[in-house]
Amino acid sequence: MADTQAHYRLYGVPGWGSVLVEAVLVRARLPYALEDVTGFDKPGPARDRLLAVNPLAQVPVLVLPDGTVMTESAAILLHLAETYPEAGLAPAVGDPLRPVFLRRLIWLVTALYGTFTYADYPERWAPSMPDELRGRVLGRRMDLWRQWEDEIAAAPWALGEPFSALDIWIAAMTRWRPGRDWLAANCPKLLSIALRVDADSDLRELWARNFDTI
């Protein structure tokens, strides 16, 4: 069994993408320290601290107990799931649901999560028409949520009966635009998963620290 007394250091910002990894750490009951780098998207001390561990200046960054630096939220999640299988973060290798889990995890970080980068900073990519780009990207994000809604079974969790880290990520990502009011009208099955995760007593304090409402 893995050493659950090992400490991790997570570089992140409240309410940002780092909450995906932080929620997994909390749900797995792994001890960690949070290195708050709020303001890293502008020149200054916070950005310098982040650049020291990630030349891309992106969160999350997780420093493992042995000092290894990990970036990319999907890679971090897979590492934690494999290191602490008892946490039930992902189906085990050989489980028929493993390919389903892997496909949706990579879909989340490549198809859906990327839309936040472009919509949050449209002036970087389309300085002459930032509002148009933001609107187009948000529309694409809505389409992607609808696609998953159409595919998902009417079951307690994203994979059906077994809980996984996908459910944690749904709970976090549905708090970002277009928001849960939109999800209620368009993706009720996904929203129901998010609400079930909200009820997890281990995560309530985390949500309160990262978002205006829990």
Whether residues 114 and 183 fall in one domain: yes
Coil/strand/helix, residue 20: helix
Whether residues 146 and 71 fall in one domain: no
Whether residues 105 and 76 fall in one domain: no
Whether residues 123 and 172 fall in one domain: yes
pLDDT digits (tens, 9 = 90+) for 144-153: 999 999 999 8
- Tally Cβ neighbours within 10 Å of residue 61: 25
Spatial distance between the Cα atoms of 128 and 104, rounded to a whole number of angstroms: 34
Q: Label residue 118 by pLDDT band (50, 70, 90).
A: confident
Q: Would the pLDDT of 214 be above 70?
A: no
Coil/strand/helix, residue 205: helix
Q: Would the pLDDT of 5 be above 90?
A: no
With left for phi above 0 and alpha for psi between -120 and 50, is residue 179 left, alpha or beta? left
Predicted confidence at residue 4, as pLDDT, reads: 47
CATH number at residue 172: 1.20.1050
CATH number at residue 69: 3.40.30.10
Domain boundary pick from 19, 54, 87:
87
User: Looking at residues 130-138, what average pLDDT do you find?
Assistant: 94
pLDDT digits (tens, 9 = 90+) for 56-89: 999 999 999 999 999 999 999 999 999 999 999 9
Predicted confidence at residue 125, as pLDDT, reads: 85
Residue 206 lies in a domain: no
Whether residues 193 and 109 fall in one domain: yes
Q: Would the pLDDT of 41 be above 80?
A: yes
Supply the range of the domain harboring residue 21. Answer: 8-87
Whether residues 105 and 196 fall in one domain: yes
Predicted confidence at residue 119, as pLDDT, reads: 85
Whether residues 61 and 107 fall in one domain: no
Spatial distance between the Cα atoms of 151 and 153, rounded to a whole number of angstroms: 7
pLDDT digits (tens, 9 = 90+) for 169-190: 999 999 999 999 999 999 999 9
pLDDT digits (tens, 9 = 90+) for 89-110: 999 999 999 999 999 999 999 9
